Amino acid sequence: MDVQGTGGLSFIAGSKTSETALNKTNKQLGKVLDQLATARRINAASDDAAGAGIAEQLTSQVRGFKQASQNISDASAALDIAQGAGGEIADLLHRQQQLAVQAASDGTTDDERTSLNTEYQAFSDEISRIAEVTGYNQQSVANGTRLAAGSSQVQVGPDDGNTIPLPPVNFALIGKTQQATSIGTVSEAQAAVGTIAQALATVNQQISDLGAAIDQLGFAGDNLSTAITNSQAAESVDRDEDLATGLADLTRQQIMQEGAMRTFSRYNEITQNHILGLLQ
């Protein structure tokens, strides 16, 4: 009788063991199915704690890269606008130069010189106006303040100190200088010729500085694009599910589940028969 009792306990213990194995297999099979359904190897930190930490770090890094890329686009747009304003002002200065050279000639009559000066002054006012109203996102970019002050920085990466400075741009000063000149007389026109030459040199230098800054931002943007692509690829390798591996795991877990179910069913059958035999 004791032997039979011991055998019964053995069968029950075996049944519990097979049930535990079946539950474990079902859990693993569910995990594999989740991975295939989401195309991700890591759906929760419990799937791979170390891998999940690395993947989250890469995700954060990619987001930082993308925001930095947007910062570069915004800054480049602002500089493009300032550069365009500089080109317009340079055209106005060239026209003023023509007027001044004409007015400086003794062959020009006083009446003609007066008309030339009226046009000249209008161009000076337009230079000042362009410098003051040119802006981006409600910030000045051409009058020496805000983004044009020379103290602005563009964050071009997710790390501290990863910045590019924006150059100073002050076309408003040129406008004020030009408004103080005149070509109403020969001597004034001759003086204006020299002033305009200096103004053109200043404008051209600032346009050149803007172009260099735009190029630098462009290189930084290209580097970020590469970094984003590489980081996303690394995250995908770490987080995403390999289809071939996933299907192989699915097949293995299904086979293990089928075997565990058969074993569990067989232990239950044997246990029931053993108990019935004891009752007879």
Predicted local distance difference test score (pLDDT) of residue 2: 45
Tens digit of each residue's pLDDT (9 = 90 or more) over 50-102? 656 676 777 788 888 899 999 999 999 999 999 999 999 999 999 999 999 99
The residues pairing with 135 across neighbouring beta strands, listed in sequence order, are 140
CA proximity to 152, closest of 139, 136, 142, 166: 166
Boundaries of every domain in the chain: 2-39+243-279, 49-239
Q: By the 8 A CB rule, do 134 and 81 touch? A: yes
Q: Are strands 163-165 and 153-155 parallel, antiparallel or unpaired?
A: antiparallel
pTM (two decimals): 0.68
Under CATH, domain 49-239 is a member of which superfamily? f41 fragment of flagellin, N-terminal domain (1.20.1330.10)
pLDDT in tens, the chain (280 residues): 444 455 555 545 555 665 666 566 666 556 555 555 555 555 555 555 565 667 677 778 888 889 999 999 999 999 999 999 999 999 999 999 999 999 999 999 999 999 999 999 999 999 999 999 999 999 999 999 999 999 999 999 888 889 999 999 999 999 999 999 999 999 999 999 999 999 999 999 999 999 999 999 999 999 999 988 887 777 666 555 555 555 556 566 666 656 656 665 665 666 666 555 555 5
Task: Report the pLDDT value the prediction gives residue 3, as an integer from 0 to 100.
Answer: 42
Q: What is the pLDDT of residue 230?
A: 83
**In the prediction, which pLDDT does 275 show?**
54
User: What is the DSSP annotation of 1-39?
Assistant: -HHHHHHHHHHHHHHHHHHHHHHHHHHHHHHHHHHHHHT
State the greatest distance between any 2 C-alpha atoms of the chain, in Å, as a whole number. 139
Enumerate the β-bridge partners of residue 163. 155
Q: 258, 74, 234, 260: which is closest to 156 by C-alpha? A: 74
pLDDT at 1: 43
The secondary structure element, H or E, covering residue 158 is none
